[in-house]
Each structure stands twice: as structure tokens, then as C-alpha cells.
């Protein structure tokens, strides 16, 4: 998903879930920051590098794709953008090497999603924002995996299913590999990643072979994924995005209540229904990005102006905070929440018997002297446990 | 258009077979190009052909016989290459859903039989010379050639069978 | 480009440099080593594809493409194996032909980089033109073994220098986030 949904739509959903306007802004900011919190961003503020939630193109270009490199890439992308749907999926006649990749395919309403949202209960609005980003991305990025894999993430046979006056028209999608040319909606011409039959090429990470199609809310299309065994899948983005929105409202209500456990496959359609027509109009409008429309809706809902996303908004607060107090700033809490999320997902993948995201050690229970960054997380966890006891 | 209407068992099978036909067709096509290159290297640039006028110990009749035999061999090899191109192109079209009747399929079947017979020649050569290295290399090369043809024949028959079932049920 | 790939390019460039000198000083020995280098690379590449197919790609939609690609490359490598026992002249044709094909592929990639307005299209195109050029000129002088050897050595030198340069240059990728 793009800024229109992660920032503006999340803002609207947060307000509908009952958050104050100021909290809505912070949740929306955190949700959008997940797409921008790279090593480059963190280095700027001398933050913990393990808290990266994304990798820029330039970082990926030089990322090693040996075993440890793949594990590093998978930890980031599977934790924040392609949350696995079923870590214990089973397919007949497949070997372990294949299944390790297959089990990382992102899908909606997996147990990991419930774990993600329930984990965010221990954090503040920053953790909530991260969880909402991940939730939304499970709907947009489903059917692709957050690890470089040609046998999983390759895809072909793309056709747009466009609603016209004469019914549904099936239009072949044309892809080119020129990043300079903009996507052309009317001619159905888009940019995607070059086909690389090397298994661990970064071109085979996520939905690169589908271009930006999963991120366009108006696009309904069919395609054949590499793992689909010649099945054709239909991806109805307008419908999926609407369900994502309703699920976000429900999830944020759970988080706001503090006590209610998040359950998968539950949507707060009742709260959203008065605005359904407006939302569907935005989602179905054929445009590359819907920032203005979502912003207008957000301002209409809250009655206040909604500022545009500013990446460096909380940078000064973090830089000016003294050592030992940085965790109390917005970015500090964001980093801790990101570390917690990455730890949780890596641990779950490891416990399922899959080493593709690397090893995971329970630092808390085993008293390990772990990576410096994760000690920050451990200290926060200890503080949280002490607060619970008192 | 719902997913269920796309993903009936027979439709999935037809898609799988179509994909195999396309790739096997491309393989036969490229093997044909590769064969053409090998033919040029081993046949037309043979020093005997190029230096034939310099051989002084052969009379005119012997030279003519040699030239004619090379010419016939060359023609046969090029026909072989053209057949591969024909089969490859047809298989790609079959894979894309175009049906061109049974004739190309019969040509493929006959060609496959010829390729299998050449296996016998390779085996015979090995038994005569006991040259394991040469045998292995020739065997693997012939095998790769045959594999694509076998896939084309099997998939093409299966596609016709499934489509016949669709129309008659 | 990954670190492993950069190391591969650097090492292959370093190996090719003495090889091109050897081809000029002792054509017979140099030719044997050059042929060996090429056939081992092709056979290894072909086997890699086959292993990949049986481990993973056979489960993939359209994965049979990997099988055929591996078989074709393996076939080329095995054919090169056969050339050790034939007159050197055949082997030189094969090596020059391989250089020509490799150069043509580089030219296509350079043209693609040009379309993408990548900053490196000129060097990539020049590299491909150099390789293909040596290969093409070689085909016009098939009768002269000495000239073929020199052309092949120049081709190897071009490859060696280019590989070393590639190992140190920045790369552009198209990646959709």
C-alpha cells in the first residue's frame, strides 16, 4: 500500500475507532513511517539499526544475498510488509526447501496478525501505527512472500478486470522495466521488476513482478502466481482495501479498549457503513495515488486540518533527548515497538522450524548477552513487567 | 469473473500442459539453432571441404564423390534443423491454444522415433570403441534433445484428449 | 550487485589477465586452458540450473523453463569438452563464437540500460561491442590461426578489464516497493 492508505486512511480509521485527533495523527504517522524507516533514516538519528522496518532500493542493491543476507532481508520484509499467513501450511509432495519459502507467503487473517495486534497492546500509539501498517499490507500484499524467491514471487498472466458499461472487460496488462516511465492506467501499461531466474535475486522479493498493481486501490486483476500450480487468482483491490479499513477500525477499537483481544476475520462494518459509499468512491477512483481524497475525508470526519506527512517531524525530539530518555520520545517508542515486532515474528518463524529468517533466542528468559539494540527492547520489556506487578 | 470458474481441474491441467508445450517448443527451437551452429562448425568449416582443391592425390571422380557426399550430408542436417524449427514453432502455438490439426503432431512423433533410433547408434558406437567419455557426452546431448520432443508429444496428445472430453461431456 | 557477485567478477577478471598473456606466448597451452575455463563454467552453470530445478523450480508454474535452460547450457559445455581432441582450429571457432554470443547479450543489456536511462549504459554497451567485435572480426580471418589467437587474446583482455571494472562500479536496479 501507499501513503494514501497508510497515512491518510489510517488517520480516518483511527478517528472512527474513537481516538483523539492528536492520537490519530501519531498513529497515522507511525503507520506511514514503517515504509520509510530504513538504515539510512535511523543512522541520521543514531538510532538502533536493528529497528529498520524497510530497505531502500539503494540498500537492497548492495545487500548480500548469501544465507545471512537473505535472513536479514526476510526479517525486515516478512515482519512489516509481508506478514506470513500460515507458518505451518502443508502441501503434498513438496520438499523442505520449498516449504520454507511457501510458508512465508503473506495472507490475511493469519495467527501472526492476531499476535501482531495483541503485541501492540503493550506499546503506545506508535505500536498501534506499526500494527495497522502490517494489517493493511496483509490485504494488499497477499499472495507474495517477504523473502527473495523466484519460485514463490514470480508471477505472470496479468489481466485487468475492468468494469465498463458493457460489463467486465478483460484487458492484458503490459509491463516494462523502465523506472523512468510513469504507470499508465488507461493503456494498462505498468513498470515491474525484470525477470531474474536466480532464486535469491532481490528482484524476486515481494510483489516486484507484479509492479505496483497490489498498491493501487482501484485495480482488480487476475494473475498466475509461481506457487499457484497453474491456478489463476483474482485480486479485487477495492473490496480488499475496504475490508482492510473495516478491520483496522475493529483492531484499533480493541487496542484502545486495552482489554479486548483482537480476533482475526472480524470487521467493524457497522461503524464504517455510514461512510461506505464515500470510501468505495475513493477506492474505485482510477488514480495512481489518492492522497487528496483521503485527506479530504479525514478533514471532514475530524473537522480539523490534516497536515501532510513530514518524515522529520519527530527527529528533533529524539536528537535532543538525553541518553536514557530517548525511549520516551515518539521515535524511541517507535523503535522499541519495531524491535518487538521483528523479534516476535522472527521467533515465530524460527519456532516453526524455518531458518530462513535466522535464529531466534529468548534473550529475556535465557539471560543472553544479545545484540546491543535488542537490549533496549529487553529493558523496556522489564520496565513493562515491573509496572504490571506494581 | 470468479476464481472458481477459472480453476476447474481440467482447466488447470490444460494450462499446465500448455505451459509445458510452450517451453518444450522453445527448447526444441533453441536446440535447432544450437544444432545449426554445431553443424556449421563441424560441417561447413571442415578443412577437408575448404582445402579440397589442394588435395593432389585424389582424382576428379573421388573429389566429386566427396563433395557430393558432403553436400547430401549437409542437406540432411539442414533438413533436420528445419524440422526442429517447425516442431518448435508449432509446439509454442499449441501451448498458446492454437490448434493446427494432427499433421504437425504426427511429424513430431516420427521425428521422435528417428531420434530414439539415433540412441541405438550412440550405444553401438560405445560398444565398438568403449569410449565412455565420448559416449556419455553424446548420450546426454541426445537425451536432452529427446526429452523436449517426448514432452511435446505426450502433452499434445493429452491436451487433445482433455479437450475432446470437454466437448463430449 | 551483491558482494559475492563483485568478488566473482574481480576473481574472474584476475584469472583472465594471465590467461590472455598465456594465449599469446604459448597459443597451444593457452587455448587448452581457455577452453577448459569456458567448458567448466558452462557445465557448472548448467548443473546449477538442473539442481535448482529438481530442488525447487519443478514446483513452480512454468518451472520447466529452468530445466531446459540448464540442459541447453550443459549441452554447450559438454560440446566444448569434445573439442579438446579435435584440431585446435575447431576449438578456436567455438571460443570466438562464444565471445560473439556473449558480446551480443551484453549489447542487448546495454540497450536495455540505455532505455532505463541508467548511468552505466555506455560502459556496458562498449564492453559488449568490444567482445562481439573481436568475435565478428575473427570469423573473417578463419584461415589465419595466428590472427585468430591474437584476436581471442584481445577479447580475453577486454573481458578481464571489464570484469574488474564491473566489480567496483555502482549498480542501478528497478525495484518496486
Question: For A131-135, A353-357, C55-59, C159-163, which range has the lowest pLDDT when averaged over its residues?
Answer: C159-163
Q: Is the pLDDT assigned to residue C174 strictly greater than 50?
A: no
Alpha carbon separation from C8 to B123, C61, C160 (Å, rounded): 40, 31, 12
- pLDDT, greater one: C115 or B159: B159
Q: Which residues of C touch B (CB under 8 A)?
A: 61-62, 64-65, 68, 71-72, 74-76, 78-79, 81-82, 87, 89-90, 93-94, 97, 142-143
Q: Enumerate residues 6+ apart whose C-beta is below 8 A from A238.
A: A217, A218, A220, A280, A283, A284
| Top mean-pLDDT range of A99-108, B22-31, B94-103 | A99-108
What proportions of chain B, in percent to the nearest 5, are helix, strand and coil? 85, 0, 15
CB contact under 8 A, B41 and C82: no
Q: Is the pLDDT assigned to residue C118 strictly greater than 60?
A: no
Residue A168 touches chain B, beta carbons under 8 Å: yes
Q: Can you tell me whether residue A169 is helix, strand or coil?
A: strand
Give the cell for residue A2. 501507499
Q: Which residue of A151, A154, A175 to mutate against C (max C Cβ within 10 Å)?
A: A151
Q: How far apart are CA A51 and CA A380, in angstroms?
A: 14
CB contact under 8 A, B144 and C90: no
Q: Which residue of C60, C61, C75, C141 to mutate against B (max B Cβ within 10 Å)?
A: C75
C77-98 pLDDT per residue, tens: 887 776 666 666 667 777 777 7
Q: Quick one: pLDDT at residue A230?
A: 94
Residue A182 touches chain C, beta carbons under 8 Å: no
Half-sphere exposure of A235 (CA within 13 A, CB side): 30
Position B35 confidence tier, pLDDT thresholds 50, 70, 90: confident
Q: Quick one: pLDDT at residue A110?
A: 96
Q: Quick one: pLDDT at residue B46?
A: 56
Alpha carbon separation from C98 to A248, B41, B122 (Å, rounded): 58, 12, 27
- The whole-angstrom distance between C124's CA and the closest CA on chain B is 26
ipTM score here? 0.84
What proportions of chain C, in percent to the nearest 5, are helix, strand and coil? 85, 0, 15
Domain extent listing, chain B: 3-168
- Angle at CA C134, nearest 5°, toward C131 and C138? 140
A2-61 pLDDT per residue, tens: 999 999 999 999 999 999 999 999 999 999 999 999 988 888 888 888 889 999 877 776
Q: Quick one: pLDDT at residue C84?
A: 67
CB contact under 8 A, B3 and A161: no
Q: Which residue of A35, A80, A98 to mutate against C (max C Cβ within 10 Å)?
A: A98
- Is-contact C167 C123, C-beta < 8 A? no
Q: Which residue of B6, B36, B37 to mutate against C (max C Cβ within 10 Å)?
A: B37
CB contact under 8 A, C81 and B137: yes
- Subunits with 3+ Cβ pairs within 8 Å of B are A, C
CB contact under 8 A, A226 and C62: yes
Q: Where are the beta strands (DSSP E) in A203-310?
A: 220-225, 233-236
CB contact under 8 A, B134 and C82: yes
Smallest Cα–Cα separation from A95: which of A147, A154, A151, A143? A151
Q: How many helices (H) and strands (E) does chain C have?
A: 6, 0
Q: Quick one: pLDDT at residue B58?
A: 63
CB contact under 8 A, B12 and A161: no
Kindly state the DSSP code that residue C89 receives in the 8-state scheme: H
Which residues does residue A223 pair with via DSSP β-bridges, in sequence order?
A: A233
Q: Residue C138's Cα: distance from chain center in Å?
A: 16
Position B57 confidence tier, pLDDT thresholds 50, 70, 90: low
Q: How many residues does chain C have?
A: 177
Q: Kindly state the helix (H) or strand (E) to which residue A150 belongs, with its residue range.
A: helix A150-153
Q: Quick one: pLDDT at residue A331?
A: 92
- The low-confidence residues of chain A, meaning pLDDT below 70, are 61-62, 179, 361-381, 383-390
Residue keyed to cell 499434445: B156
* Burial of residue A22, with CB atoms counted within 10 A of its CB: 0-12 exposed, 13-18 middle, 19 or more buried: exposed
CB contact under 8 A, C65 and A197: yes
Question: Which 56-85 residues of chain A touch chain B by CB within 8 A?
Answer: none
Q: How far apart are CA C1 and CA A365, in angstroms?
A: 40
CB contact under 8 A, A192 and C176: yes
Size of interface A-C (CB pairs under 8 A): 96
Give the cell for residue A291. 492522497
Question: For A185-199, B53-67, B141-155, C66-80, which range has the lowest pLDDT when averaged over its residues?
Answer: B53-67
Q: Enumerate residues 6+ apart whose C-beta is below 8 A from C87.
A: B47
Which residues does residue A183 pair with via DSSP β-bridges, in sequence order?
A: none
Q: Quick one: pLDDT at residue C177?
A: 37
- Is-contact A168 A222, C-beta < 8 A? no
Q: Which residue of A has its CA nearest to C58?
A: A151
Amino acid at each position: 500500500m501507499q501513503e494514501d492508505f497508510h497515512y491518510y486512511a489510517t488517520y480516518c480509521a483511527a478517528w472512527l475507532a474513537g481516538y483523539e485527533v492528536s492520537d490519530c495523527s501519531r498513529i497515522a504517522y507511525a503507520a506511514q513511517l514503517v515504509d520509510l524507516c530504513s538504515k539510512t533514516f535511523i543512522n541520521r538519528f543514531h538510532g538502533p539499526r536493528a529497528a529498520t522496518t524497510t530497505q531502500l532500493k539503494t540498500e537492497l542493491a548492495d545487500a548480500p544475498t548469501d544465507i545471512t543476507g537473505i535472513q536479514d532481508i526476510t526479517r525486515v520484509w516478512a515482519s512489516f510488509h509481508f506478514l506470513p499467513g500460515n507458518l505451518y501450511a502443508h502441501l503434498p509432495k513438496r520438499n523442505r526447501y520449498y516449504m520454507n519459502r511457501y510458508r512465508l507467503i503473506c495472507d490475511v487473517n493469519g495467527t501472526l496478525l492476531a499476535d501482531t495486534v495483541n503485541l501492540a497492546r503493550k506499546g503506545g500509539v506508535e505500536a498501534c501505527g506499526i500494527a495497522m501498517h502490517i494489517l493493511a499490507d496483509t490485504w494488499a500484499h497477499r499472495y507474495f512472500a517477504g523473502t527473495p524467491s523466484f519460485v514463490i514471487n514470480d508471477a505472470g498472466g496479468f489481466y485487468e478486470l475492468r468494469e465498463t458499461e458493457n460489463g467486465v472487460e478483460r484487458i492484458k496488462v503490459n509491463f516494462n522495466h523502465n523506472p523512468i516511465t510513469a504507470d499508465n492506467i488507461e493503456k494498462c501499461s505498468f513498470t515491474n521488476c525484470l525477470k531474474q531466474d536466480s532464486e535469491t535475486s532481490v528482484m524476486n522479493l515481494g510483489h516486484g513482478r507484479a509492479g505496483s498493481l497490489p498498491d493501487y486501490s482501484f485495480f482488480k486483476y487476475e494473475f498466475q502466481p509461481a506457487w499457484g500450480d497453474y491456478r489463476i487468482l483474482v485480486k479485487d483491490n477495492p473490496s480488499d482495501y475496504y475490508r482492510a479499513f473495516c478491520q483496522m477500525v475493529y483492531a484499533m477499537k480493541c487496542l484502545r479498549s486495552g482489554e479486548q483481544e483482537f480476533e482475526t476475520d472480524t470487521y467493524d462494518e457497522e461503524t464504517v457503513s455510514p461512510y461506505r459509499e464515500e470510501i468505495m468512491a475513493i477506492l474505485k477512483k482510477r488514480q495512481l495515488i489518492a492522497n487528496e481524497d483521503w485527506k479530504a475525508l479525514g478533514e471532514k470526519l475530524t473537522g480539523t486540518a490534516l497536515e501532510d506527512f513530514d518524515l522529520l517531524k519527530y527527529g528533533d525530539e529524539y536528537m535532543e533527548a538525553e541518553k536514557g530518555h530517548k525511549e520516551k520520545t515518539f521515535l524511541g517508542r517507535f523503535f522499541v515497538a519495531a524491535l518487538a515486532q521483528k523479534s516476535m515474528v522472527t521467533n515465530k518463524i524460527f519456532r516453526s522450524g524455518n531458518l530462513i529468517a535466522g535464529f531466534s533466542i529468548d534473550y529475556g528468559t535465557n539471560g543472553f548477552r544479545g545484540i546491543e539494540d535488542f537490549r533496549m527492547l529487553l529493558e523496556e520489556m522489564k520496565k513493562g513487567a515491573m509496572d504490571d506487578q506494581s | 469473473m470468479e476464481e472458481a470458474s477459472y480453476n476447474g481441474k481440467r482447466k488447470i491441467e490444460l494450462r499446465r500442459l500448455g505451459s509445458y508445450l510452450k517451453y518444450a517448443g522453445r527448447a526444441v527451437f533453441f536446440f535447432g539453432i544450437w544444432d545449426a551452429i554445431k553443424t556449421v562448425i563441424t560441417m561447413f568449416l571442415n578443412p577437408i571441404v575448404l582445402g579440397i582443391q589442394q588435395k593432389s592425390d585424389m582424382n576428379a571422380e573421388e573429389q566429386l564423390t566427396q563433395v557430393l557426399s558432403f553436400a547430401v550430408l549437409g542437406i540432411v542436417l539442414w533438413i533436420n534443423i528445419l524440422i526442429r524449427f517447425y516442431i518448435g514453432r508449432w509446439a509454442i502455438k499449441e501451448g498458446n491454444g492454437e490448434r493446427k490439426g494432427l499433421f504437425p503432431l504426427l511429424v513430431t512423433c516420427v521425428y521422435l522415433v528417428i531420434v530414439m533410433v539415433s540412441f541405438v547408434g550412440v550405444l553401438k558406437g560405445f560398444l565398438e570403441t568403449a569410449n565412455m567419455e565420448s559416449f556419455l557426452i553424446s548420450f546426454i546431448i541426445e537425451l536432452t534433445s529427446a526429452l523436449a520432443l517426448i514432452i511435446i508429444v505426450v502433452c499434445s496428445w493429452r491436451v487433445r484428449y482433455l479437450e475432446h472430453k470437454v466437448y463430449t461431456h | 550487485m551483491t558482494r559475492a557477485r563483485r568478488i566473482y567478477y574481480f576473481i574472474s577478471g584476475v584469472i583472465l589477465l594471465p590467461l590472455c598473456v598465456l594465449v599469446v606466448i604459448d597459443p597451444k597451452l593457452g587455448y587448452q586452458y581457455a577452453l577448459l575455463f569456458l567448458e567448466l563454467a558452462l557445465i557448472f552453470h548448467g548443473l546449477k540450473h538442473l539442481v535448482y530445478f529438481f530442488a525447487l523450480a519443478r514446483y513452480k508454474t512454468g518451472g520447466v523453463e529452468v530445466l531446459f535452460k540448464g540442459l541447453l547450457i550443459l549441452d554447450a559445455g559438454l560440446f566444448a569438452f569434445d573439442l579438446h581432441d579435435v584440431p585446435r582450429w575447431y576449438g578456436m571457432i567455438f571460443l570466438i563464437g562464444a565471445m560473439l554470443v556473449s558480446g551480443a547479450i551484453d549489447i542487448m543489456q546495454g540497450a536495455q540500460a540505455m532505455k532505463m536511462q541508467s548511468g552505466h549504459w555506455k560502459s556496458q554497451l562498449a564492453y559488449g561491442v568490444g567482445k562481439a567485435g573481436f568475435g565478428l572480426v575473427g570469423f573473417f580471418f578463419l584461415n589465419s590461426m595466428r590472427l585468430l589467437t591474437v584476436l581471442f587474446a584481445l577479447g580475453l583482455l577486454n573481458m578481464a578489464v571489464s570484469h574488474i571494472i564491473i566489480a567496483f562500479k555502482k549498480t542501478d536496479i528497478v525495484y518496486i516497493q
